[in-house]
Amino acid sequence: MKLYDYQPFPHPRRVRMFLAEKNIEVPTEQIDVMKGEHRSAEYLEKNPEGLVPLLELDDGEFITETMAISRYFEATQPQPTLMGTDAISQARVEMWHRRVESGLFNTLVTFFHHATDGLGDDRYRNKDWGEHNKSVALTMMKTLDARLADSQFITGDEFTVVDITAVCGIDLGKMLGIDIPYELQHLKRWYQEVNQRPSAKA
């Protein structure tokens, strides 16, 4: 088994945090995206989309997409659970994860690609679209702040994959100069608490 990773990017970090929370060690290989290694013929044969992370299983099968990789490890090592323990908690995790991924994480990725120099390539950019996505991300931060007024973590009293996606998104925002607004004190409390977890350094 091998995890193809790129240390600076937020998507692979989500998997690394997930593995760290479960105390699972997987050999990794760094794919330097900035040097174009994700577009090499050898890597594209493994993943035609040329994205990281990518999990190679012992039988030679490849799994792409951050959540698909995480679900594989949740199924193979259920404890500690990061995706809910019963029907309602699993539904709650799915609900909040979709909200956080679409409203915070993905919007900040879009801001990166459209409102900044991004990866420095010649892909299409629409700065107004990037700025719009920034405003959507800030709105989601307000939603999360309200949620965290009555909850230790985003889905309740247990740390889940939702918190992983959220903290990776917020750290991407910080890297891009988009910080948690001062008035969102519940979100700031949560952010400080999550960053004290050993997995945050993954």
Residue length of the chain: 202
Looking at domain 87-201, its CATH class is mainly alpha
Q: What long-range pairs does 79-88 form, CB within 8 A, spacing at least 24?
A: 79/22, 80/21, 80/22, 81/158, 82/18, 82/21, 82/22, 82/159, 82/160, 82/161, 82/164, 83/160, 83/161, 84/155, 84/160
Which helix or strand (DSSP H or E) is residue 4 part of? strand 2-5
| Per-residue confidence (pLDDT) for residue 23, from 0 to 100 | 98
What pLDDT does 124 receive?
Answer: 87
List the 28-30 sheet strands across, edge first: 28-30, 2-5, 54-56, 62-64
The per-residue pLDDT string of the chain (202 residues; one tens digit each, 9 = 90 and over) reads 999 999 999 999 999 999 999 999 999 999 999 899 999 999 999 999 999 999 999 999 999 999 999 999 999 999 999 999 999 999 999 999 999 999 999 999 999 999 998 887 777 899 999 999 999 999 999 999 999 999 999 999 999 999 999 999 999 999 999 999 999 999 999 999 999 999 999 9
pTM above 0.85, yes or no: yes
Please state the domain extents for the chain: 2-76, 87-201
The CATH number of 2-76, from 3.40.30.10, 3.30.70.20, 2.60.40.1180, 3.40.50.1220, is 3.40.30.10
**Residue 118: predicted pLDDT:** 80
In the prediction, which pLDDT does 121 show?
78
DSSP string, 42-75: HHHHH-TT--S-EEE-TTS-EEESHHHHHHHHHH
H or E segment at 167? helix 161-175
Q: What is the pLDDT of residue 119?
A: 81
Q: How far apart are CA 196 and CA 189, in angstroms?
A: 11
